[in-house]
Amino acid sequence: MYDLKGFRQAFGLTQKNIADILECGQANVSGMEKSMRDLEPEQYKKLCARFDVASVDKFKVSDFIASKKTEAEPAISYTTGVPYYNVDFIGGFDIVLNDQTAKPEYLIDFKKYNEATCWCNVTGHSMEPEITHGDIIALKKVEDMSFLPLGEVYAIVTKNGMRTIKRLGPSSDPKCYTLVPTNKSPEYGIQELPKNMIQCVFQVLGCMKRL
């Protein structure tokens, strides 16, 4: 047995946030909190994946929070870490991509994401609640684009200058990728992107609020 409500509140999430992650109705989350009933196995997997829990077994909220507190906290540095560029991936990332003289504002030393290529800003709501408007994201450039694992979130730059952040899904056309938003609002739909239109790809390793 676990305390879903306590878990949710510990991370400052609403019932709708949890419902979006579990891909169920808010009423279902409310019911689980009131009855303390267990999540379905697939729901466990989604929750654990979202909050970087290795096991899909039942876990105590207090133990989970304690384990997270032992991780190194992100810090601004000028000697160690990954460069942070105060630019928006959707709107101004080309200055980082194309201008090798561009200087980062500082480095972010965050052990969990120190394998990233860079950090930058993100705007838009299509990936909420996973990635929130105003977050900064850790990007790792994909050197070999011949195979991109599906199910991961990528920041994609196309040859015509479009930049988008989406989860990669399967497509019925082997020459295309399917771009899947997290936000289930009708204004954000699934798109097909021809593989030959992609200029470069960055894996989104994680996100956080600006330091």
pLDDT tens per residue across span 43-53 = 877 777 776 65
**pLDDT at residue 57 tops 60:** no
Nearest in space to 19 (alpha carbons), one of 38, 46, 52: 46
Bond preceding residue 129 cis, omega within 30 of 0:
yes
Confidence of residue 96 (pLDDT cuts 50, 70, 90): confident
pLDDT value at position 10? 60
Which residue reads 């160690």 in tokens?
A: 80
Do residues 3 and 61 lie in contact, with contact meaning Cβ atoms separated by under 8 Å?
yes
**pTM of this prediction exceeds 0.75:** no
**pLDDT at residue 82 tops 70:** yes
pLDDT value at position 43? 80
Domain boundaries defined on the chain: 4-69, 75-208
Name the β-bridge partners of 50: none
Percentage of residues of the chain with pLDDT beyond 90: 47
Using alpha carbons only, how large is the chain's radius of gyration in Å?
Answer: 18
Side-chain-side CA neighbours of residue 48 (13 Å): 15
Angle between helices 26-35 and 15-22 (to 10 degrees): 110
According to the CATH classification, is domain 75-208 in 2.40.30.170? no
Which region among 80-84, 90-94, 174-178 has the lowest average model confidence (pLDDT)? Answer: 90-94
pLDDT value at position 37? 67
Confidence of residue 182 (pLDDT cuts 50, 70, 90): very high
End-to-end CA distance of the chain: 36
Which region among 29-33, 38-42, 169-173, 182-186 has the lowest average model confidence (pLDDT)? Answer: 38-42
CATH code at 4-69? 1.10.260
Residue 41: partners with Cβ closer than 8 Å, 6 or more residues away: 56
pLDDT value at position 56? 39
